Amino acid sequence: MSKRTVRSDLCSTGLQGHGSRVEQPALRTVYPLAEDAAGRTITTHERQVDRIVRRIIRERMQTGRPELDLRGPVQLSAWEAFNGVQGYVQHDAPRRGRPNDFGRMIAALDDSAVRRAMELALSL
């Protein structure tokens, strides 16, 4: 099976979960920010959400879907939001030590943010 066929199959499977839409602020329910947060905490939070959105944008480009319009509120499918959070936790989130790919995958399975993102996606 060619890479193109596999990518096409993955796109078809992933698109089934694209009927439910979530607003970008829904990502903030996965990564809540305390009301009394200030300074570095806010900056770190904004960067985290930004990295998730950039991950989603890259995946959209790789699968030939329309670009996100970042000038207004961003609408994501429930699948994209979950996949963005899970991908961030598995591939981008800082980890103690130097876990290998398998260790990062296992850690992502047990992550509370991934669990909240899954619950959000399934609730729509």
Per-residue pLDDT reduced to its tens digit, 92-120: 888 888 889 898 888 888 899 999 888 88
94 lies in some domain: yes
12 lies in some domain: no
113 lies in some domain: yes
- For the chain, the domain total comes to 1
Q: Which of 58-62, 70-74, 83-87, 104-108 has the lowest mean pLDDT?
A: 70-74
The values of phi and psi at residue 3, to 5°, are -60, -40
Give whole-number Cα distances, 13 to 4, 16, 29, in Å: 14, 6, 26
108: CB partners within 8 A, 6+ apart: 86, 89, 90, 114
Predicted structure pTM score = 0.70
52 lies in some domain: yes
63 lies in some domain: yes
5 lies in some domain: no
6 lies in some domain: no
Range of the domain at 117: 18-123
13 lies in some domain: no
